[in-house]
């Protein structure tokens, strides 16, 4: 069965030296002494995330180049790859949940004040997607490499800026004030833009490439929300409502980030497609309904 397999000669490229496997598997330096079994998992999982973050940033910069050339097919391909990676990142949380609160407690205090909150690549990804917050720079002040990367992302147009410029060139009626805005500031949600997207969604067959682009962007945004939700739920399961090693209110802080939206108008465009029952007097809608069996918006469906 192994006939024909090559026996490498000295100096030839091998799996090991190409991928620097020895260096890679030597990068797990535990803080605990005596070593705590689960700290190895904790380190490897974070390192795996950072490698995938690196690949995501690599894809985002490719997407931006493709957008500059109005090459939507290439944009679709890279967006799909980002989405697949995000699926994996969400799934990875399952592995970490095999660690019990007590397993984590054996080395948690040794991690203080380090936290995933300081992941510069995660923050660059957020900034590139439009979630720019200059105040986050101060949490990286002791890391010159991270500071440069974060400043670059803060001062550069976001993925969304490039998307909108591309759609403008393709003939969509993108509001001028958005195209000419100060790119160092966060994007201010625009109802005019949501109406433009609403018209795309109402006629998706006639604008299929634009529709597909918007849906892929929405996938990326939604997967990020799913990751946030999966992460906070895991955090609650392991540390409950205690303060994070980074010093935040832990679960409460993380829950507040669930509201973040990278592409607000792609979400709000839905209201220009779906009939709003509350705006139809005398209908079975929420505002005018006297039917006690219909759930009201504030009540959970049961």
Residues engaged in binding ligand HEM (CB under 6 A): 45-46, 49, 96, 104, 115-117, 119, 122, 231, 235, 238-239, 244-248, 250, 253-254, 257
Q: Which is nearer to ligand HEM, 112 or 283 (CB)?
A: 112
Q: How far is the CB of 33 from ligand HEM (least distance, A)?
A: 20
Q: Which is nearer to ligand HEM, 96 or 262 (CB)?
A: 96
Q: How far is the CB of 265 from ligand HEM (least distance, A)?
A: 22
Q: Which is nearer to ligand HEM, 121 or 207 (CB)?
A: 121
* Token code pair at residue 209: 């490439």
Q: Residue 213 and residue 219: Cα distance in Å, rounded?
A: 10
For 18, 170, 174, 194, the CA distances from 191, given in Å and listed in that order, are 51, 20, 11, 5
User: CB burial class (10 A; 0-12, 13-18, 19+) of residue 141?
Assistant: exposed
Q: How far is the CB of 211 from ligand HEM (least distance, A)?
A: 30
Q: Which is nearer to ligand HEM, 258 or 273 (CB)?
A: 258
Q: How far is the CB of 232 from ligand HEM (least distance, A)?
A: 8
Q: Which is nearer to ligand HEM, 44 or 172 (CB)?
A: 44
Q: How far is the CB of 266 from ligand HEM (least distance, A)?
A: 20
- For 102-110, the CB contacts below 8 A with 24+ separation are 103/36, 103/37, 103/38, 104/38, 104/42, 104/238, 104/239, 106/32, 106/36, 106/38, 106/39, 107/30, 107/31, 107/32, 107/36, 107/38, 107/39, 107/42, 108/239, 108/245, 110/31, 110/32
């Amino acid at each position: 069965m192994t006939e024909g397999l090559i026996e490498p000669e000295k100096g030839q490229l091998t799996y090991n030296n190409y991928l620097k496997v020895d260096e890679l598997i030597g990068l797990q330096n535990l803080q605990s002494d005596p070593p705590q079994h689960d700290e190895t998992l904790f380190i490897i999982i974070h390192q795996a995330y950072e490698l995938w973050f690196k690949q995501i940033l690599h894809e985002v910069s490719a997407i931006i180049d493709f957008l500059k050339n109005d090459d939507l097919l290439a944009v679709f391909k890279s967006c799909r790859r980002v989405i697949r990676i995000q699926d994996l990142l969400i799934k990875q949380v399952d592995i970490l949940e095999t660690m019990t609160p007590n397993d984590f407690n054996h080395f948690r205090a040794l991690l203080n004040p380090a936290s995933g909150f300081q992941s510069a690549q995660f923050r660059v990804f957020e900034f590139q997607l439009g979630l720019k917050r200059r105040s986050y720079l101060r949490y990286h002040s002791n890391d010159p490499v991270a500071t440069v990367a974060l400043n670059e992302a803060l001062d550069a147009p976001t993925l969304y800026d490039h998307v909108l410029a591309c759609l403008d060139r393709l003939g969509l009626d993108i509001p001028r004030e958005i195209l000419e805005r100060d790119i160092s500031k966060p994007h201010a949600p625009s109802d005019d833009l949501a109406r433009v997207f609403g018209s795309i969604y109402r006629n998706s067959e006639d604008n299929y490439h634009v529709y597909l682009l918007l849906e892929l962007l929405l996938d990326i945004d939604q997967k990020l929300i799913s990751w946030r939700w999966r992460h906070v739920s895991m955090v609650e399961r392991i540390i409950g409502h205690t303060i994070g090693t980074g010093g935040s209110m832990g679960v409460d802080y993380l829950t507040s980030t669930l509201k973040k939206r990278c592409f607000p108008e792609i979400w709000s465009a839905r209201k220009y497609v779906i009939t709003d029952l509350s705006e139809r007097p005398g209908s079975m809608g929420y505002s005018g309904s006297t039917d006690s069996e219909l759930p009201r918006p504030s009540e959970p469906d049961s």
